[in-house]
Each structure stands twice: as C-alpha cells, then as structure tokens.
Structure 1
Amino acid sequence: MESFSSRISNGLQHMSESLFVGMCQMVGTSKEVAIRRETADIDYMLNRQIKTNNKVIKMLSGSRREGFRLKGSDFDYMFWTNDHQVIIDMSQYCNTANTTLIFSDSSESPPGFALLELLTRSKYREVQLACVTMNDRVYISSSTYRQLTCSSVIPNSVVHGPCGSAHIAGIIADIEFDTALSFVSDCWPPSASSWIDRCHSWPDPEVVDDIIRNGCHFVAIGHPLGPHTNEEWRISFSQAEYKVVNSMNHCQFLTYGLLKLFLKEVMYQQSEDTNKLLCSYHMKTTVFWAIQQNTLPHWCPQNLLAGFWVCFKLLLKWVYEGVCPNFFIPQNNLFLTKIHGPAQNRLFLQLHELYKKGLACLLQSSSIRSYIIDVLYDPTLSICTDESTLRSQVDYDVELGRELDLVSLCTKNLFGLIKAMHTIEQLVYSPLTHYQAVTIRTFTATIFQYTAFQLQNIYTNTGFNKQLYIADKLSCQLLKLAAKFGCVSDMLYIAMYYYNTLRYREALFVLEMTKVKLAQPYLMYRDHVDRERYTEAVGGQSWSTKMRQAVAKDVRLDNRIGYISDLLLEQQPALHDKNKPQLFIPVFVMLHFLEFLCYRHVDTTLSQAALDELQVLVHHDQGLYVPHLLRDISWEILGICQQITGNLQAALYSYKQSLAQYPFNNIQTATHRRIQDILSQQ
C-alpha cells in the first residue's frame, strides 16, 4: 500500500502541477514570456544603435521588461544620455570634448551608494543646476537633479523614490509610469565584486561576463541614513537583474510571479501599518538568493509549491533578522530604513501566522485559490503541464501582435532613418530568434513609411521637378515595400500618400483592395479574432504571410511628419507632448476617412456613403473596431468630415463628443480651434 507520506508528497506534486498550469494562464507560458522579452530586446537594441552621441537612451525596465503582464503592472523606464559617462577609477580619466566625465566616489557612502563628482563640464542645464560644492569638489546632488528632471518625461509627475511617477487614468485601465533619469557606467562597481565570486553554478559564466561588461547605472536617490543623503546616488543593477531573470527556467520565473501575486493579494491585505513594508523587489531578491544557494535541487512544475515555500521561509528569516541582503552587494541591507523596531516585529508576527498555516496560506489569494481547491476536491483530476496544450498558435499570434504594437522608432530625420537602415542591414545577417526577426520586419516597414513621407515633405516645395519626380518614385517604392513587410493596414499609408499627391483614383484603388482584406472574417485586429476562421485561412503560414493577409493595426501618424493636410491641426498640439509623439487612429476609421476624402474629388454620392459608414461606426461601435482610448480622434475625424460637407451642427456635436472622451491623443487644442471656427461662421 502507498504510505501516508507518499500520498502527501503525491498530493503536493499534484497541486503544484495544477498551480503551474494556473500560473501559465496568469503570467504566461515560456513562449509568451519569450515573445515579450525578445521584442523588447530588439526594440531597445535597434534604438540604442541608431542613436547618435548626445542623445537620450530609453530602456524599458522592471517587471514588464522581465516578461510580466500582470494586472496593474507599472511601466518602468530608465533614461540616460550617451555623452555622460561615470568612471569608477581615476585611471579611466580621459579628456574628451564629446563626453562629460563623472567620477563615482563611494569612499564615504554606505554600500550600494556613491557621490558623483562632475569632472568635466556638462552642457545640460539640469546637471549644472544640480551641482553642489563640497571640499572644493563639484558634485551632482541627487535630490536636486531628481526634482529638476521629475517631470521632464511625463508632465506633472511626482517624485517616487528615484523616479518621476505619473498616474494615467484610462477607461480600460489605470496605468502607473515610473521614469528614472540616470547616469551610465561601463564599469562593474568594486563593491559588487563578491557577486562574481559567488556565481559558481548560477547564473552561467556567459551571463555573468555579459553582465559585467555592461556595467551599471546610478539613479537619483541617496541612502536615508548616509552622511550625504541629498547628494548620494544609488547604484542600479536594473540591466543585470533583467539578465539574471532571463537566465531562470520557467518554473523559477513562475515562482517569482507567484511571490508577486502572494505579496499583492495576501501580504498587502494583512494590515495598513505593514502593507507597504515589503515590495516586489524584495520578492525578486528572495528568488535570486534561493536559486543561487541551490536550496531546491529541481525547479520543475511538480516542485512549484516547494519552491514557493523555500522562498517564503527565507523571507520570513530575513524579516526576523531585519536583514535583506542586496543580491549584488550583500552589505546593502534593503530592510535597513523601513523594517526595524515595532514595524519589523508586527510584520514578522503577521508572516509567522501565515507560515503556521503552511501552504494553505495560498488559499487567501483570490487568483491562486481555485487552482489548489480544484485538486483538493478531486485528487484524481488529470493535470497536463505540457505548455503546448495550454495555448494555441492563435494565442501566440495575438500576443506577438500586442507586443509589436509597443515597438517604436525614436528617430524621424533622414540621417537617422538612413542609419537605421544600415543598422537593420547588419542585424539581418546576425543570429536572430524568430521573434526578433519579426520585430525587425515591423521596424523596417515603419522606417520605409517615415522615409517616404519625409521625402515628400522635403521636396514638395523645392520647385525642382526632377528632384520631386525622383523623390516621388522612391516614396512610392518604399511604401509598397513597407506593405510587403508589414500588415494589411500598412496599405493605408500608400492611399494616404496618393491622396496627398492628388492621385485620388489610385488611392481609391488601394483603398478598395484594403477594404476587401479588412472585411475578411478571419481578420485579427488587436485581441479580436475568430480563431477557427483565422486558423483555417492562415494557420501554418509564416508570420509575415499572416501579417500581409490577416492582421490589421491602428494607424500611427508621427507628429513631426505631415501625412495629410486635413489632420495637420491635430498633429500640432500633440507635437509638444513628449508622451504623444504620434496620433493613433483606428484602422477602420482611417479607411472610411480616406474614402470620404478621395471620393469628394471623384463621386460625391460615394463620398456621402463613406461618411455614412464612418458615422455608423463611430456612433454605434462598442469598442470592437473603435477602441475606447481612441474615441477622441474618431469623433474628431467624423467632425472634420461633417464640417467639410457643410453640416456644421453635426460637426459641432462630434467635436463636443471628442472633448468628452479620454484625451489619449492630446488633440483638445485642435478640437477647440475647430469649434471656434464653426461658431465664427454662424
């Protein structure tokens, strides 16, 4: 007969397998996580290589970069300039006109922190204003720099740690953006040298070498108990942490996700006086140490609960001792300023109560509970942990499309676009994963589109017919190539270009082809897709074929480039908003808009029919083809069409409706101007 301990062990394994499946549903399968990471990686790589000196580098960091898409996840970004470099040793000093040198002086600071001495003059006003003099040396004050740059990325941000934090309320979700302006160092800090010696079995030596080669960052916050709190900077290992997370197997990653959910849904619910003492970073640190100390020999689906329990016990031990050692600099106690005294005691008692309940404490989590209870009620329930059974290929296509929507290009001038083409040309011949290759295709289509319209903008008013003819021919070729690299909706850029160059019939021919493709029952738009028909139509095809035949995206108009004169007014106010460098227009709204504009010069009856279709769409769509966050521009475009036809009352109503929507595209100034224009005519 099976022993009692064996039955308990089998029961735990069974629950672990069920929870593994549940975590894959909530956090993602290994393939979904790979899609998220690899698209973000190639996006960052391309933009960094395209950037010339003196440009600001942007990097997605935090949990979203790691591959999480949990509800309520923040968007964390780090920014730094190419022409400012932190050196660790004075022997690295070199007098260069192109680089501002900063010396990291950690001699008087607590572990993990340093003073930043400005060695050469900075051209940036914020750096100059943040300078303070101590002992005849010039240092950059972290507190002053943080205040000066807090809202430089997102207006009206508030200071949150080393970041500027902005809460953007939307109809669909409320999103937190944390932006940290930092300084970069190519050197690995000496205070973290012990970490290298600890990496015997994990991470792999190649990962360790890569981490060391890429150095660290310095973010604008000092140690609260340090001698120079307002001047000190914290060493940030954000890039290193991402690579360490990347080296986890999927079960380890899901354990990290399980701890994040447990923190939010159980620990945070204990009491108000302790619910902000622990944070997600503590959970990440716990998993790092648990893996590196080889506490659990096998991290696999059958051991998911065992892995969680190992981490929870380690966290409990740290809270009892009041010491949470930073993974890279153990002397830096992450609990030092918050978890001590009475607060530490209360937190320990609360965690110990959870500990006494054993793994049953997980039942307090609303997200996790059902996956454990299902197995408790039916121990014979068959659990399959094969990830291929958890997601279909359509799910992965939707995930990939969603991530590609986040890909953006940071340069729009012709020199930058040419450099971008050369960069992509080099990358094409380097080893790429499937998702990286797909991301490059998306980048390429975007570059071709930007270049085509930039050429048209530049040469339209030169007065040289030969130059205009050559530019026009090249623009048309680029837009047709972009449509081959891109998706169904990329054909609309060709129609826009034809309309802009007064070739209305050619534009209508393209629009008719596009309309046929957009009308297919297997079309994938955002998360909306008929899975069965999509699989029948393009299942088994390459992603590039699927994009050309069955995938549509919202139309993006960069506000620094003129596309069509009818929307220039909407682009101008948004141009000054760093968060909205583009207008986002629903693909079906843009289709009917272009039909209306082109038919006005060909057939007024069909022009009115296109306007009627647009009106029905904007008035009656329930978020399927006109996403809630894009209703501002949708009502605006309807109003523009109505104003063109002379139906001023209808246009006035549409503009007021546009103002009533969430201002995602930041077009309110343009809307008010259009309203004033109508009122002045009455």
Structure 2
Amino acid sequence: MDFLSGNADLEAGLQHLCESVFVGLCQIVGTSALVAIRRETTNISESLLRRVANNDDEIEMESGSCREGFRLTGSDLDMMYWPNNHRVIWDMSQFEYYYTANKTFILSDNFESPPGFTLLVLLTPTTYRRIQSACVQMNNRIYISSSLFRQLAQSHLFPGSIMHGPCESGELLGVIEYDFAWCVACDFWPPSASSWIHRCHSWPCREVVDDIVRNGCHFVPIGHPVGLHEYDEWRISFSMAEHKLVHSMNHCQFLTYGLLKIFLKEVIDKQSNETKNLLCSYHMKTLVFWVIQQNVVPLWCPQNLLAGFWVCFKLLIKWVYEGICPNFFIPQNNLFLSKIHGSAQRSLFLQLNGLYEKGLVCLLQSSSIKSYIKCVLYNPRLSICTNEDRMKSECEHDIELFNAISYNGSPLTRNLNSCIKVLHSIGQMIGSPLSEYQILTLQKKTSDILQIMAFILHNMYTNTGLNKPMYIADRMSCHMLKLAGKFGLVSDMMYIAMFYYKTFRYREALHITEIIKVKLAQPGLMYHSHVNHERYTEAVGGKSWSTKMRQAVAVDINLKRRICYINELTLEQQCNQQCREDILFIPLFVVLHFVEFLCHRHIDTSLAQAALEELQVLVHHDQGVFVPVHLRDISWEILGICHQMTGNLQAALYSYQQSLTQCPFNRIQNATEMRLQDLHIK
C-alpha cells in the first residue's frame, strides 16, 4: 500500500496499528452500542414529536454530528425548525397529494439558480410571521427572500448569537457550539437529485434509498454566492437524508468518518492560519459517502481501518488540487466553489500533499490518536482486543442511556387533550418493532406525561368550588404521580412531593422527601454522569434497565413553564416567553431542600431553618456535582426566594445578584430583576 512505502516495520505491524486505532476511536467516538443508544433514543423521541404535532406547530429536528451519533469535544448542537403547515412543491401537479385547506404551498423555481439552489414562490396565503414578512415581489410573483427570512428568524435565544450561513450560531456555557436553522420542508425528492437514486447500486441498500426519497428534503435560507439571486435563493438541504446515510454505515465506516473529523480539527487546521477552516466536517462526510458508494475499499473492518482512511485522504487531496468537491446528491453543485481557490487552494494542496508524503506518521500530529499509534510502535507484540463489549463497562453504557432518555425533547403538552394524544401515540408505538433503548425511552416519556397530566388536572379544578370534581381530580392526580414514580427514575418521586406541598399535605410531602433522601444516599446512585462505577455495579449490575431506573438513577427536575407546580416559582416560570424548550430546569437536590423548607415553614420553623442552611451550603459550595454549572442561575434564585421568605433581605439580595452573574441557561433574568426591585422597595 502506498502510504506504507519505505517503512517496513510499520507495514509488518499494519494490522496491529489498525486495531489499536480502532480501539482508540471506540474510546473517543464510542462503541457501536453507545452510538446506537444515541441514535435510537433520538429517533424514537422525534418520531413521537411528529406523531403528536398539530398542523400549526413548528417541527424540530436534531441534525449535524450529534444526530449522527458523535459526542466529540466540540461537536455542535444543530437543530432545524420548520412550520408543519407549509410545504414546498416542485410542480403544480403535486397539489393533489394534499388536503389543501390547511396547508400553505410554496413552489420551487430553480430555472435561474445554480445546482442545489432555488427561488421559492409563495402560492397561497400564510399566517407564519417569518414568511409573511420576508415576501418580495418579482416578475408579478411573490417570492420568499432568504436573507429577509434569515433576519426575521434570528431569535437571540442566547447572548452573543450571530447569523452564520443559514443558521443562528453561538456558544452555550463556553463549550457547546450551536447552530439553529429555520427552514421549510418538502415531501418530495428534488428532481435535480434524481440521478443519485439510480447511482445507488452497492450502497446504500434499496430500503434506505426508498426511505430517504420518501422523506423528501428541506430548504434553508442561504443563496449561492455567485448566483443571480444570492439574497433571495434558498439552498436544498439533505440533512435528513444524510443522517440516514450515516446511520446505514457499519461501525468501521463510521469510525473512519470520525477519524477524518479528528484529523481535520487536530492536524489539517493546525497547518497554517491561511488554510484554517477552508475545509469543514461536511467535506469529510461527503468524502466518506463517495468512497463507500464507489466501493473502493473492498472490506470495511477494524484490520482495514487505516486503508479506508487513506483512500479518503487521497481523494480529498485530488479534490483540493482540482478545486472541485461534488455534492453527494447533486454532483454539479461544487462545494468548494467561491471558497477554495487561488493562493489559498495552492497552499492547502501543498500542506495536504506534505502530510501525504509522510505516510501514516502524519497521524502522530493528532493529539487524540497519537497515543494509540505509539503504544503499537513501542510494543509491536502487544495483543489488542477489538471486542467492543469489553471496551466499555455496563455502567458507562447506562450513563449514556439514562442521559439520552432523560434529556431528549418532550412532546408538546399544552393541555389535557394533548397529553392524552401523546399517551395514545405511545400506546400505538409500543406495538411496533422497537429496540430495548426505544422501549425504555417511551417508558420515561410515559412517566413524564403522567406527571404533567397530574398537575394540569389539579390546576383545572382548583378554585372551581365544585367539591366532588375536585376530589376526583385529586385522586386521579395522586394515582398518576404514584404510577409515574413506580416506573420512572428516583427523581420522578419529587413530583409527588411537590404535588403534596401544592395541595397543603405538608407531612405527606416530607414523608416522600425522606424516602427520596434515603434513595439518593445510596452509594451506587447515578446522577447525570456522576456515579461510583463499582458501587453502582454492586447495587444494580445485571438488573434490567427498568429496575435500574427506579432504584439508582436520578436527574434534574423539569418544570413546564405553563404549568404551576410550586406557587413560589410562578414568576420564574412566567417571566421568560422566549425560551424555546418551554422548560425550567432545576437541580434535584435544590428542589429537595426547597420543598423541605417550604413544608417545614408550616410545621416547625427550626426544621425550616435547617433545610435552608442545607440549601445554602449546597448552592455556595457545590463543585458542579449536585448543582450543575449551567443550572446555578435558578439555584441561586431559589436560595434568594427562601432568604426573602424568612426576612433575611441582605442574604436574598446577595443570592439574586449571584443569580444574575451565572450563565443565563434558564432565561430567568427578568424574574430576578423583578425580585430585586421588590427587595429595594422593601
């Protein structure tokens, strides 16, 4: 093989080297089981969201590297949003596939646009504000301007966000980069990409091709930089098709893609400032797609991993030399156009060629990979196990799974009817073929919905003056909360305590908090990723995931902003209408001490003071274990509320001021300012 020429020792140990890098990538990128957890939990969550969405809802879809199954350092959080009642069509005959009374139709007009781009003509009236305000008139037709739409779509969800390409981009908590794209959907496959369907002989399989074509595409608001209508054109997005393609890769192919992403970030982008960021992850993904489909690598397996990487790298060099990177679906769309040309192109080619001439030694420049290469070079007889089951412990798999099922998006639950609709959809989905991960995800969703229904039901009958309906609603709410606690997480019991406090059953609420405290004191408790692996395995190792959920797993408390759980937090829930997730996230241990404080105030003031002191120690001194850094805003806020209730206004003032200095994850600054104003008045 050409990349081994002149290095006989490396050639002799090629298989060992490939196996070592394979093991390293499984540690960095994830084993096939971990990747499956990430994908399948997200897929089932989004499938549920789509089933229960109303015609006038906005649909959301995770895209990008996280959706593909990566959790690399620096992996973006990419989200796409589109109005459910708007559809793009390619020609007027496609009207017949819709019930036209409840849809707004948009026609693609790509006669004057470069490949992969189009103008969008509004055919029927719309009430969607972003589209309504982005309309411009050209040639007696109403077009939707991509640049105007992009400006109107910017939501400023987090401080410092900017428009980057078609997305609102920024950084959250200083570590998570995000891209939010508002777009429009099309149920039909683009005619300009029809050649791709006929090109799929060896990969992907026919079932995947049919699924991709059946799901259509999207249009994101960005024009071609050299097109005639740059500020009005939209780009065809194949994001949904791409993550289906990535999911259809075998694990060795996926790890090769991961290695290319790592190599780009840690080696190519470090060559010079002139060429940094000329290439991106999307180019690496396109590379892998083409190489797999062209069947250049005869066998994708751990022992052949670096051969696949090198084929991709050689193709990349060829593309840079020619200045052409063909889009996988529409090859006429050159992804390098207007970006890689002139002196920058020449410099990039020389740098890549220089790396190529070094052979596999160039991988030693990767800080993530070099240790796995060196261990083989220094220990040529080292025995390497490529059995993935032995690479990650049971506890590590459980951390991934329980974090995934706990923090995937929740279905829209505006009222009791929408909750019933969600439960009905879950019942239908349970009857379909599902993986164990997906069944567990639906189990957690069911627990969440029952909790929400319990509080909605109670709030519906409060102050109605009708005793019998109130009594029936109360019994039903209690039953639903207990049911949710039986097959939910340890932390789900906290909703029972909150409900008892809300309904003035303070001793019952304190009884529940005592049970929770005993469970939380277990040495094998898993809270987020914080867990003693040995103790966890001793406590619940080998048991079913359902049992582990009930006995050893806890997460934060999520309060839907439109539902009153604790009256003392109503201001925080109502003051932010901009937060897309519509949820207030609070650390479990903060809520626990808060509820104890609130209940003891009605029973024993000395115990209330003790609960407040415990809360104060937790908020002041926790190192990000029980009070995650991104939830310090609400934690300081709750501490301030408690101080204010006891009359300690100086301590309350300090706590509110601290809340304002934290990362504004929960978007409660307006509530904090109002509480500060109230303090100053007092």
TM-score by length of 2: 0.96
Given that 1:498 and 1:504 are in contact with CA atoms closer than 8 Å, whether structure 2 keeps it comes out as yes
User: Aligned-pair distance for 1:675?
Assistant: 2.9
Matches within 5 A, 1:151-170: 151=155, 157-168=161-172, 170=173
Contact 2:52/2:425 (<8 A) preserved = yes
1:167 alignment partner, SS class: strand
Q: Contact 2:48 / 2:411 at 8 angstroms: preserved in 1?
A: no
- For the pair 1:115 / 2:107, whether they are aligned, the reply is no
Cα-to-partner distance string for 1:594-624 (whole Å, 9 max, x where unaligned): 1111122222232222222222222222222
- Distance in 2, Cα, partners of 1:652 & 1:6: 71
Task: State how far apart, in whole Å, the 2-side matches of 1:634 and 1:129 are.
Answer: 40
Quote the residue 2:209 is aligned against.
Answer: 208
User: Is the Cα–Cα contact under 8 Å of residues 59 and 83 in structure 2 kept in the other structure?
Assistant: yes
CA displacement, residues 422-481 of structure 1 (integer Å, 9 cap, x when unaligned): 110101111110111111111111111111111111110222112211111111111111
Q: Distance in 1 between matches of 2:345 and 2:650?
A: 65
Q: Say if 1:622 and 1:670 are closer, same or farther in 2 by CA, change over 3 A.
A: same
Give the corresponding residue for 1:617. Answer: 618
Matches of 2:622 and 2:114, distance apart in 1: 58
The partner residue of 2:525 within 523, 526, 538 is 523
Distance 1:56 1:337, change over 3 A: same
In structure 1, what is the equivalent of residue 422 of structure 2?
A: 420
> How far apart are residue 631 of structure 1 and its match?
1.8
Distance, in Å, in 1 between the alignment partners of 2:101 and 2:248 is: 39
Cα deviation for residue 580 of structure 1 reads 5.5
Deviation at 1:225, TM superposition (A): 1.5
> Which secondary structure does the structure 2 equivalent of 1:69 belong to?
coil
2:452 to 436, 443, 450: 450
Paired residues for 1:504-515 under 5 Å: 504-515=506-517
Q: In structure 1, what is the Cα distance between the partners aligned to 2:626 and 2:129?
A: 45
Asked whether the 8 Å contact 1:556–1:584 carries over to 2, the reply is: yes
Whole-angstrom CA distance in 2 between matches of 1:578 and 1:659: 17
Flag the 1:120–1:152 CA change in 2: closer, same or farther, 3 A.
farther
How much does 1:184 deviate? Answer: 0.8
1:487 alignment partner in structure 2: 489
For residues 673 and 146 of structure 1, what CA distance do their matches in structure 2 show?
33
- Residue by residue, what CA displacement relative to the aligned partner does 1:486-543 show, whole Å, maximum 9, x if unpaired? 1011101001001000011111111111111111111110111111111111111111
Q: 1:540 to 1:58 in 2, by over 3 A?
A: same
Q: Write the distance in 2 (CA, Å) between the matches of 1:619 and 1:106.
A: 59
Is the 8 Å Cα contact of residues 189 and 213 (structure 2) preserved in structure 1?
Answer: yes
Kindly state the Cα deviation for residue 66 of structure 1 after the two structures are TM-superposed. Answer: 0.1
What 5-or-longer segments of structure 1 have no aligned partner?
none
Whole-Å Cα distance in 1 between the matches of residues 663 and 240 of structure 2?
34
Match of 2:281 in 1: 280
State how far apart, in whole Å, the 2-side matches of 1:661 and 1:78 are.
28
Matches within 5 A, 1:235-634: 235-413=236-414, 414-574=416-576, 576-579=577-580, 581-634=582-635
Match of 1:643 in 2: 644
- Give RMSD over aligned pairs: 1.7
| Aligned-residue offset at 1:305 | 1.0
The one-letter code sitting in structure 2 at the alignment partner of 1:138 is I
**CA distance in structure 2 between the aligned counterparts of 1:344 and 1:6, rounded to whole angstroms:** 33
| Identity in percent | 64
Structure 1 distance, partners of 2:448, 2:605, is: 33
Deviation of 1:544 after TM superposition, in Å, equals 1.1
The answer (yes or no) to whether the contact 2:579–2:667 under 8 Å persists in 1 is: no
How many Å apart are 1:567 and its aligned residue?
1.1
Query: Is the contact between residue 454 and residue 561 of structure 1 (CA under 8 Å) also seen in structure 2?
Result: yes
Q: Is the 1:42–1:439 Cα contact (8 Å) retained in structure 2?
A: yes
3-state DSSP class of the match of 1:638?
helix
Pairs aligned (count): 675
Output the CA distance in 2 between the equivalents of 1:403 and 1:498: 29
The answer for the alignment partner of 2:53 in structure 1 is 51
Match of 1:405, SS? helix
CA distance, structure 2, for counterparts of residue 330 and residue 670 of structure 1: 52
Paired residue type of 1:320: Y
Name the CA distance, whole Å, in 1 between partners of 2:624 and 2:605: 30
Cα shift at 1:182: 1.1
| Contact preservation (8 Å) 1:154, 1:579 | no
Which amino acid in the other structure matches residue 439 of structure 2?
A
**Matched-pair contact (CA < 8 Å) for 2:406–2:444:** no
Q: Distance in 2 between matches of 1:607 and 1:322?
A: 70
1:97, distance to aligned residue in structure 2 (A): 2.1
Which secondary structure state, in structure 2, belongs to the residue aligned with residue 357 of structure 1? helix
Following superposition, the deviation at residue 133 of structure 1 comes to 2.2
* SS of 2:101 mapped into structure 1: coil
Given that 1:186 and 1:215 are in contact with CA atoms closer than 8 Å, whether structure 2 keeps it comes out as: yes
Provide the C-alpha distance between the structure 2 equivalents of 1:8 and 1:530, rounded to a whole number of angstroms.
40
- Aligned partners of 1:364 and 1:251: how far apart in 2? 22
The AA in structure 2 aligned to 1:296 is V
Structure 2: tracts of 5 or more residues without a match: 1-5
1:104 pairs, out of 104, 108, 111, with 108
Deviations 1:142-174 (A, max 9, x none): 122112212376676322111121333x2xx42
C-alpha distance in 1, partners of 2:412/2:243? Answer: 26
Cα distance, 1:628 vs. partner?
1.6
- For residue 91 of structure 2, what is the aligned residue in structure 1? 89
In structure 2, distance between residues paired with 1:336 and 1:390? 42
Q: How does 1:670-681 map to 2 (within 5 A)?
A: 670-681=671-682
Work out the CA distance in 1 between the residues paired with 2:679 and 2:340.
Answer: 62
Given residue 619 of structure 1, which amino acid in structure 2 is its aligned partner?
H
1:164·1:179 contact (CA, 8 Å) conserved in 2? yes
* Residues 215-242 of structure 1: CA deviation (Å, up to 9, x unaligned): 1111111111122222211111100000
**Counterparts of 1:218 and 1:661, CA distance in 2:** 37
1:36-66 CA-to-partner distances (Å, cap 9, x unmatched) read: 0011111111111110101100000000100
Q: Secondary structure at the match of 2:681?
A: helix
Q: Which amino acid aligns with 2:137?
A: T
Aligned-partner Cα distance in 1 for 2:670–2:136 = 41
Report how far residue 336 of structure 1 moved.
1.5
**Aligned-partner Cα distance in 2 for 1:627–1:126:** 35
1:104 and 1:114 map into 2 onto residues whose CA distance is 6
2:143 is aligned to 139
CA contact (8 A) 2:558 2:585 kept: yes
Counterpart of 1:140, as a letter, is: I
Q: Secondary structure at the match of 1:308?
A: helix
Please tell me the residue identity of whatever aligns with 1:189.
P
Deviates more, 1:130-139 or 1:307-316: 130-139
Tell whether the 8 Å contact from 1:322 to 1:339 is kept in structure 2 after alignment.
yes
Please say which of residues 46-55 and 611-620 is displaced more in the overlay: 611-620
Residue 103 of structure 1: SS of its match in structure 2?
strand
Change (3 A) 1:44 1:485: same
